[in-house]
Amino acid sequence: MSRGLPTAVETAAERPRLSSPPGRLIVLSGPSGVGKDTVLQELFRIAPSLHYSVSYTTRPPRPGEVDGVAYSFVDEAGFQALRDRHELLEYAWVHGHWYGTGEARVRASLERGEDIVLKIDVQGAAWIRPRVEGAIFIFLLPPSPEELRRRLTERATESADSLELRWENARKEMADQDQYDYRVVNDDVHRAAREILEIIERSRPRAADQ
Ligand code: 5GP
């Protein structure tokens, strides 16, 4: 599976650094099932000026997912072409599929002074950390491991195998939470979204407020 693709390490090392762009890059990570999508939906409702970076993925669409909205769905050859053309800011192999962030749109947004949110895994965040100056790293946590397990089990879209894989990966992702600037507990979607917005507002450089 995906033998032709190199690891994220090789590509990320080649990427240029984005130094002090006028916009803010907000990186949100958290284990599968923690509720990143729901919290982001609420965040964009209360902060409509925020932008979202639609990732590329080789994962097949779930029912109701629209191409270009949830993700840009590509096959492995398409993903490899993006990687070969150096069009990805970062990418990683997550839960048995490739996921990556298109660089051009993120760069353009930041240079226009827009704040853009990336929902990416801990590997992608680790690649971006030394490469984008001033990025804000937020980790979304479940109220408890038991609650996360319950939420994952309830996800009707997952097969039994995929559930176990995601649970295993969730535990690994949780181990990286200390790498993040902020940790937000998703005990209540509205509260968590408000807390994330406060973090973004607080970390805005003074110059941008003037
Ligand atoms: P899902 O398939 O459930 O939508 O996402 C699975 C995981 O892939 C999530 O942890 C999500 O954060 C991560 N992910 C989504 N897009 C990207 C991306 O562009 N880059 C990286 N590194 N991870 C991503």
pLDDT higher than 70, residue 13: no
- Token pair in block for residue 116: 């853009």
pLDDT recorded at residue 19: 75
Residue 40 near ligand 1, beta carbon < 6 Å? no
CA distances in angstroms from 148 to 87, 121, 155, listed in the order given = 34, 16, 11
Question: CB neighbours of 158 closer than 8 A, spacing ≥ 6?
Answer: 152, 166
- pLDDT tens across 100-150, in order? 999 999 999 999 999 999 999 999 999 999 988 899 999 999 999 999 988
Q: How far is the CA of 205 from the centre of ligand 1 (A)?
A: 28
Residue 94 near ligand 1, beta carbon < 6 Å? yes
pLDDT recorded at residue 155: 73
Strands lying side by side in the sheet with 25-29:
51-52, 116-119, 25-29, 136-141, 182-185
State the average pLDDT for the chain.
88
The Cα 200–Cα 26 span in angstroms is 8
pLDDT recorded at residue 20: 74
pLDDT recorded at residue 169: 86
- Token pair in block for residue 66: 């629209």
Q: How far is the CA of 146 from the centre of ligand 1 (A)?
A: 22
Q: Atom 19, ligand 1: which residue's CA is nearest?
A: 100
Give the number of the atom of ligand 1 that is nearest the alpha carbon of residue 173. 10
Question: Residue 116 belongs to what H/E stretch?
Answer: strand 116-119
26 — pLDDT class (breaks 50, 70, 90): very high
Least confidently predicted of 9-18, 78-87, 100-109: 9-18
Q: Could you count the other beta carbons within 10 Å of the beta carbon of residue 141?
A: 19
Domains of the chain from N-terminus onward: 21-204 (3.40.50.300)
Residue for token pair 């669409």: 61
pLDDT recorded at residue 109: 94
Pick the closest to residue 174 from 32, 36, 44 (CA basis). Answer: 32
Burial of residue 142 (number of CB atoms within 10 Å: 0-12, 13-18, 19+): buried
Burial of residue 105 (number of CB atoms within 10 Å: 0-12, 13-18, 19+): middle
Mean pLDDT of 164-179: 90
Q: Atom 17, ligand 1: which residue's CA is nearest?
A: 120
pLDDT higher than 60, residue 203: yes
The Cα 94–Cα 59 span in angstroms is 10
